[in-house]
Amino acid sequence: MLVEFSIVPVGSGSSIGDSLAEVLKIVDESGIPYKINPMGTVMEGEWDELFTLIRKCHESTMRHEERVITTISIDDRKGKPNRLEEKVMSVERRIGKSLRK
């Protein structure tokens, strides 16, 4: 299962880098495979471990903020491991070149 999530503190001003750094430290220390992008974080794993981690990240942010918006997207496909890498490589094979990452 792939899960993409983003956490946005509301009311903290336009710079949220400190809050995001704290969230990404939690994700990195979890040992779960992930990739960050400018709009969120994509992780690969099992339902319970991913949602436990997202909850931990959300609650960590709520300790410092009055309001937090957490958005979650799920891509669940049976029998397809290593999708964090394979999805991109599949498109690159079809195009015939590497894409910017």
Q: Write down the H helix ranges in 10-95.
A: 17-30, 47-62, 83-95
For 12-50, write each residue's pLDDT tens digit.
777 788 889 999 999 999 999 999 999 999 999 999 999
Beta-strand ranges (E) seen in 1-101 are: 2-10, 34-37, 40-44, 67-75
Structural domains in the chain, sorted by start = 2-95 (3.30.70.930)
Q: What is the pLDDT of residue 13?
A: 73
| End-to-end C-alpha distance for the chain, whole angstroms | 21
Residue 101 has pLDDT above 80, yes or no: no
DSSP 8-state symbol, 98:
P
Q: Average pLDDT of 60-77? A: 94
pLDDT band at 57 (very low <50, low <70, confident <90, very high): very high
Per-residue pLDDT at 90 exceeds 80: yes
Structure tokens at 55: 């909850």
Provide the whole-model pTM.
0.87
Phi, psi of 60 (to 5 degrees): -60, -45
